Every structure is written in structure tokens, then in C-alpha cells.
Amino acid sequence: MKLVLSSGGVPPGSYLAKFIGTEPSDGGQYGPGIKWSFEIVSGRYAGQKICRTTGLLPTLKNGCGKMLVGVSGKAIEGEEIDLAEYIGRTYLIVLVQRPEGGTSLDSVTAPPVG
């Protein structure tokens, strides 16, 4: 039997990923939140799921708002956005190295055209 040790996650970088959706999260020590889920669609890490948990209330300055604007492309205060409309769409996601190890989902944007 031959085995290869890996870090167990996707390394820092930019990836094309499909938006899977959101679900409630208990948030652990930070309280309730929203879990945002994506699946990498191409390359070596295709099929890997990437998630980020944020707070419940989006603002222009917090993680929940950053994810909402990235997925919807809309930054209009007071507009209700139905995330179901965006499930299955492909985005460019950026993973960054965490100081304590591993990576985290930093940003989501529409993929480049072309």
C-alpha cells in the first residue's frame, strides 16, 4: 500500500467554484451564523468543498456583507436579495493562508469574462 500525506485542504490561491448555497450555523463560540458553501469546479482540487461561516446580519463592513455582495454583485443598502437565485453559478474565490495554519475563504467575485 502506498500513501501520500497532504495538508488536508486546498492551498491558498484563486479557484473557480460553484455556489452551493447557505445554511444556518451554530457558530460555536461566536454564536449563530451563516455557512456559505462552494465547490471547486476545475483543476487539481475539483470537487473540494470550501466553506466560510459569517455572522447573521450583513453590513458593508463585515464578512456576511462581503459574501453577500460577492455572490450577488449588489451593494445596495436596503435591497432584499434571494440567494436561491445564485445557487449553481460559478465564481472566482480566493483562499488565503491563515496564521494558525490552513486556509480560509477570503473573497468571492464574478469570474473574469473571456
The per-residue pLDDT for 8 is 66
Mean pLDDT by 10 residues, the chain (114 residues): 72 97 87 95 95 94 96 92 97 94 92 76
Task: Please tell me the pTM assigned to this model.
Answer: 0.89
Among 93, 88, 3, which residue's Cα sits nearest to residue 45?
A: 93
* Structural contact between residues 81 and 74, judged by C-beta atoms closer than 8 angstroms: yes
Angle at 72 between CA 60 and CA 38, to 5 degrees: 105
